[in-house]
Amino acid sequence: MSDPATTQAELTRLRVLIQEMDSRLAQISQIMARARLNTPNQLQGELQRLLQPIKASLEELETRVKAHEKERDHLRALQSVGAVINSSLELDEVLREVMDAIISLTGAERGFLMLIDDYTGELTVQIARNMDRETIEQSSFDVSRSIMQSVAHSGEPIVTINAQSDPRFSGSDSVISYNLRAILCVPLKVRGTITGVIYADNRIAAGIFNDDDRDLLSNFANQAAVAIENARLFKQIRDQLADITEMKNLMDDVFASIASGVITIDTTDRIALFNRAAEQILGLVAKQVLNQPYRQILTTMAGLESIVEQVKSYGGQHNMEVDTVVAKRSGVTTLNMTLSPLRDVQQETFGVAVVLDDVSEKKRVESLRRYLPPALVDQVRGLDVAQRPQRRRMSVMFADVRGFTTLSERLEPEKLIQIINGYFAVAAAAINRFEGVIDKYMGDAIMAEFNTTLNPQVNHVERAVRTALMMREELASYHKVLPEDRRLHFGIGIHVGEAVVGNVGTHFRKDYTVLGDAVNMAKRLQEVAGPDQIIISHAVYDAVRSWVEAEPWGPVQLKGRQAVDQLYALVGLKDG
């Protein structure tokens, strides 16, 4: 096709030429008439016959040029609209541009774009616009669904200049009831698959659509279908990314809120994740350790490297407990670590997850439970059993099961354990009742203290004495359920004095205990006590004489002591 400007100029020149020829013929006729020539009309008719083919050819050329101009305008419109709809991936914006372009190109009153629902397979209106570029409300969707369904099913476009008189739609209730006239409907196709339809109509004027409009709209629909599909895919991807982002944020929040420390190590042995709890437990800052080799960061965790390598190589979950020094925290922190492999969908290991729990407090409480009755544990949670040794005045009690050695000569060890545990249960119940500390079990003997750093007590002497009395009383009740040959007795000694309390031992094994003369004295008193006897020192007697009955016992020179001590055998409580 020639240049549009040149074609237009040529067409204008031909039109002027025709007009000049008609004017000249009229002038010739007038001249011949004034000259009273007999043949002017004949001459004019002959000339007109000669010029008629030329005039017809010019008119045909004009019609063809107009058709080419219309086609050119349509192509320009398609190019312009295509550039607009393909310049955006926002689905709503693309749909609006498509519908406004359809109405502009075809001169329709209304336009509807419907897409096939991926789940139901039904056509659903995505957007509806009118010639004023306004969105049509759903209540005004009075369209021919049958025509839409036919185009969506067959993939063939439909055009009618007057649907009211078109025999193809004589049975369509919607066409008749909605008084629909000019209708144009074409399919939307993407790679040969029908994804929806474009529907345009005019309820007022008939004959505004023709086959050229149908072909134009079909070409436009092919362009629009791709743009719409791209926008839909973009929306799906954006929604999926939003979901992924939301899930990531949620996981970040979850990791941040987990009470346990979570550390992940990637295949290059670098730290990939380090949550807030891990920061608090280890006294480190996540920003400073992320992407750093874990061997350089977790240096105080003895044995970690070998376990990490084992998990990476063989998989499986491993637990370990380590004592480590944490920055900005005094003492040693005990950590329980669970190491698990990180696997992808192919079950290939791509890292190791380390879950940390600070069990220092738990271990400390468990340590307290070794020494204290349950009622005291919660009261002394803030105490540190690892603190420096202290000198204190305290009451010490030893109790030994009399006759157990003889019994052990004729019974199996398993049976002996059962029997001695029964007697220790009686003793422990009484000690716990008066909030004493069970220091240790020594064969068939038990040692307890009152007024240690773990159980500070003002009336510790009274508590020790009442404990011994309760043990003797409860033992009498216990004998009633035992065979006669299993009835054993306690020999008890109690003394009050200065002693040092604290942890003794090495880093491999430590015990919380009491050392000093008060301990030695109480042990000697227990050794001289007979079955069911409670022997107390003079210092103990002075503290409780107002409310107990006791018989002088001695004076006695105890083993390992140079002085002679006045002792007392505790009888019971005074009446009243």
Please report the pLDDT score of residue 313 as a whole number.
81
Q: Which two tokens stand for residue 394?
A: 């305290």
Last residue of a domain, one of 328, 358, 388: 358
Q: Does residue 169 contact residue 144 with C-beta atoms inside 8 Å? A: yes
The total domain count for the chain is: 4
- Phi, psi at residue 551, to the nearest 5°? -105, 135
Q: Do both 443 and 482 map to the same domain?
A: yes
Q: Could you count the other beta carbons within 10 Å of the beta carbon of residue 234?
A: 15
pLDDT grade, residue 234 (50/70/90)?
confident
pLDDT digits (tens, 9 = 90+) for 115-152: 888 888 888 888 888 777 777 776 566 677 888 888 88
Q: Are residues 387 and 434 part of one domain? A: yes
Name the pairing type of β-strands 489-505 and 534-537. Answer: parallel
Q: Is residue 248 part of a domain?
A: no
Does residue 3 surpass a pLDDT of 60? no
- What pLDDT is recorded for position 439? 85
Where do the H-state alpha helices sit in 205-272?
211-257
When pLDDT is averaged across residues 105-113 and rounded to a whole number, the result is: 80
User: What pLDDT, on the 0 to 100 scale, is given for residue 1?
Assistant: 46
> In terms of domains, do 13 and 144 share one?
no
> What's the burial of 95, exposed, middle or buried (CB within 10 Å: 0-12/13-18/19+)?
buried
pLDDT > 70: what percent of the chain?
72
pLDDT at 260: 83
Which has the higher per-residue pLDDT, 83 or 144? 144
Top-confidence residue, 100 or 376: 100
Query: Same domain, yes or no, for 57 and 121?
Result: no
In a domain, 24, yes or no: yes
What would the pLDDT profile of 271-280 be if each residue is shown by its tens digit?
Answer: 988 888 888 8
If asked whether residues 134 and 65 sit together in one domain, one would say: no
**Quick check: is 303 in a domain?**
yes
Q: Are residues 430 and 499 in the same domain?
A: yes
Q: Is the pLDDT of residue 198 over 50?
A: yes
The average confidence (pLDDT) of the chain is: 78
Q: From CA 266, how far away is CA 343, in angstroms rounded?
A: 11
Q: Does some domain include residue 251?
A: no
pLDDT of residue 10 exceeding 70? no
Sign of the torsion formed by the C-alpha atoms of 426, 432, 434 and 437? positive
CB 333 within 8 A of CB 304: no
Tokens 């038990």 -> residue: 446
Q: List the CATH number of the domain containing 399.
A: 3.30.70.1230
Q: What are the residues whose beta carbons fall under 8 Å from the beta carbon of 516, sequence distance 6 or more?
A: 391, 497, 498, 499, 500
What's the token pair of residue 556?
Answer: 């006695």
Which of 33-47, 85-99, 293-307 reaches the highest mean pLDDT? 293-307
Residues 414, 533 within the same domain: yes
Across 538-560, average pLDDT: 90
Range among 175-189, 190-204, 246-260 with highest mean pLDDT value: 190-204
CA distances from 561 to 299, 393, 499, 524, 564 (A): 54, 20, 17, 9, 8
Last residue of a domain, one of 27, 50, 82: 82
CATH number of the domain where residue 209 is located: 3.30.450.40
Better-scored residue on pLDDT, 482 or 492: 492
Ranges 19-28, 450-459, 525-534: which has the least confidence:
19-28
Q: Is residue 253 part of a domain?
A: no
Q: Which residues contact 512 (CB under 8 A, 6 or more apart)?
A: 367, 370, 371, 385, 439, 454, 501, 502, 503
In this structure, the answer to whether residues 273 and 341 fall within a common structural domain is: yes
Which residue would you say has higher pLDDT here, 24 or 390? 390
Can you tell me the distance from the alpha carbon of 324 to that of 335, in angstroms, rounded to the nearest whole number? Answer: 7
- Does 205 reside within a domain? yes
Q: Are 338 and 316 in contact (CB under 8 A)?
A: no
Residue scoring higher pLDDT (306 or 509): 306
pLDDT tier, 543 (very low <50, low <70, confident <90, very high otherwise): very high
Closest CA to 262 of 372, 351, 367, 188: 351
Asked if 99 and 74 sit in the same domain, the reply is no
Residue 71: Cβ within 10 Å count: 14
The pLDDT value given to residue 45: 63
Please give the average per-residue pLDDT across 170-179, as a whole number.
Answer: 64
Q: Which residue has the higher pLDDT, 354 or 325?
A: 354
What does the pLDDT average to over 50-56?
65
562 and 470 within one domain: yes
pLDDT at 509 over 60: no
For residue 334, being part of any structural domain is answered with yes
Domain extent, residue 544, equals 365-573
- pLDDT value for 538: 94
Q: Does residue 241 sit within a domain?
A: no
Tens-place pLDDT, residues 404-433: 877 877 788 888 888 888 899 999 989 989
Whether residues 117 and 224 share a domain: the answer is yes
Q: In percent, how much of the chain has pLDDT > 90?
A: 18
Give the pLDDT score at 462: 96
Q: For residue 454, what are the contacts with CB-CB under 8 A and spacing of at least 6?
A: 368, 371, 372, 376, 380, 383, 385, 437, 512
pLDDT band for position 49 (50/70/90)?
low
What's the pLDDT band for 365 if we cut at 50, 70, 90?
Answer: low
Q: How confident is the model at residue 451 (pLDDT cuts 50, 70, 90)?
A: very high
What mean pLDDT comes out for the span 290-318? 83
Residue 491 has pLDDT above 90, yes or no: yes
Checking if the pLDDT of 469 tops 90, the result is yes
The predicted structure's pLDDT at residue 91: 66
Q: What is the pLDDT of residues 62-80, one digit of tens each?
A: 666 666 666 666 666 666 6
Are residues 54 and 29 both part of a single domain? yes
Cβ atoms of 526 and 493 within 8 Å: the answer is yes
Q: Which of 324, 343, 358 is the last residue of a domain?
A: 358
For residues 340 and 311, is the Cβ–Cβ distance under 8 A? Answer: yes
**CATH number, residue 314:** 3.30.450.20
pLDDT of residue 448: 93
